[in-house]
Amino acid sequence: MGRVSISLDDLPLRDDLKGKKPYGAPQAPLPVALNVNENTHPIPESVIRDIVGDITHVLGDINRYPDREFTTLRESFAHYLGHDLTPDNIWAGNGSNEVLQQILQAFAGPGRTVFGFGPTYSMYPLLTQGTGAVWTEGTRDAQFQLTAEHAAQQVRDAQPDVVILCTPNNPTGTPLAIDVIEAVYDAAPGIVVVDEAYQEFAPHDAVSALTLLPGRERLMVSRTMSKAFAFAGARVGYLAAHPAVIDALRLVRLPYHLSALTQAAATAALRHAPTMLAMVDHIVQQRDRISTTLRELGFTPYESWSNFVLFGGVVDTAQTWQKLYDRGVLIRDVGIAGHLRVSAGTEAETSAFLDALASIESGL
């Protein structure tokens, strides 16, 4: 039987997905990859050995389904987060993107709207559309900041079913003051999600939205192990919220959605939280070093509480990106005119980026 070649356009795809492109950043085998906000520091050998030991133990029962409620992992997350949280307040998924998707499956969907302040994480509109809801976007000021009054008014005008606040914000790195979150919650008629994927890179005295959870049943705070815990390849995200919210997410989760291997690896890593987080201070040092050097080179870096720096003043973003690529350094063009974004890596990786950028600026 002869084969008939077809393309995506020939398939009976949903109308609202036609012409869309999947999320993805360039992947290339370059010596220095600083484009997707990974933690480029390797996990310490002592932690690896402990994780491997737990996974090996789990393999003895791998023929059985995992704990559907991932009880031990939820206990570990509650202990790590503190704030008097209990396992009943905790949910987890295969990366924070899956957790966000489950939130939208439960609280958004056809005929409903999801709201965020642009520019922000580019997966939010994709997750929204994937669940059949409509994404609407508010605005920030010229420094990508928000005031409580301006943010709340935009939410009151939009009347969305779900609001997603990213703090520190991706791709700008800018923080969101706690009074802004309070104001948005008071103005929102529905669910408010605070995405704190980069919270561990904020100043040690920064106030987390976790402090706002008591008495706010419509508030959720999501986190990830991908960044501070250097666990991007393990795909573990989690959420803190009222127990009723956790019950709602059970309605849409796939059966046994967290594998026994994932649960074991994440639980073991959380036992070593101080060791795993020790690298965060070093990453913050490299982030601040990047910002300082960028200013010296004539660029405009924005305040960042994350593990990356967005900088403006780039005359030709495509050309600068390509010249860095040709020098073995991969960073990110996030689609903001005149701006590029770079992750803070190891000291050697950071030096490689800064040296390559300086050579471009000097015409070498």
pLDDT digits (tens, 9 = 90+) for 13-24: 888 888 888 877
Task: Give the CA distances from residue 26 to residues 20, 118, 197, in Å, rounded to whole numbers and listed in that order.
Answer: 17, 22, 21
- DSSP secondary-structure letter at 306? S
Looking at residue 232, its pLDDT comes to 96
**Mean pLDDT for the stretch of residues 1-30:** 80
Asked if residue 132 has pLDDT above 80, the reply is: yes
pTM here is 0.95
- With H, G, I as helix, E, B as strand and everything else as coil, classify residue 319: helix
Mean pLDDT of the chain: 95
Rounded Cα distance, 49 and 56, in Å: 10
Tokens at 340, concatenated: 């590029």
Q: Topology of 45-271 in CATH?
A: Aspartate Aminotransferase; domain 2 (3.40.640)
Q: Where are the alpha helices (DSSP H) in 272-312?
A: 273-296
Task: Give the CA distances from residue 250 to residues 102, 173, 254, 257, in Å, rounded to whole numbers and listed in that order.
Answer: 9, 32, 8, 10
Looking at residue 21, its pLDDT comes to 81
Asked if residue 1 has pLDDT above 70, the reply is: no
**Mean pLDDT for the stretch of residues 292-298:** 97
Q: Would the CA dihedral through 225, 226, 227, 230 be positive or negative?
A: positive
Number of helices followed by number of strands (H, E) in the chain: 11, 12
Contact 336, 119 (CB under 8 A): yes
Is domain 25-41+275-361 classified as CATH 3.90.1150.10? yes
Asked if residue 4 has pLDDT above 80, the reply is: no
pLDDT tens track for 83-93: 999 999 999 99
**Which value, to the nearest 10 degrees, does the dihedral of the CA atoms of residues 66, 72, 77, 83 take?**
140
The domains of the chain are located at: 25-41+275-361, 45-271
Looking at residue 216, its pLDDT comes to 98
- With H, G, I as helix, E, B as strand and everything else as coil, classify residue 141: coil
- With H, G, I as helix, E, B as strand and everything else as coil, classify residue 330: strand
- With H, G, I as helix, E, B as strand and everything else as coil, classify residue 116: strand
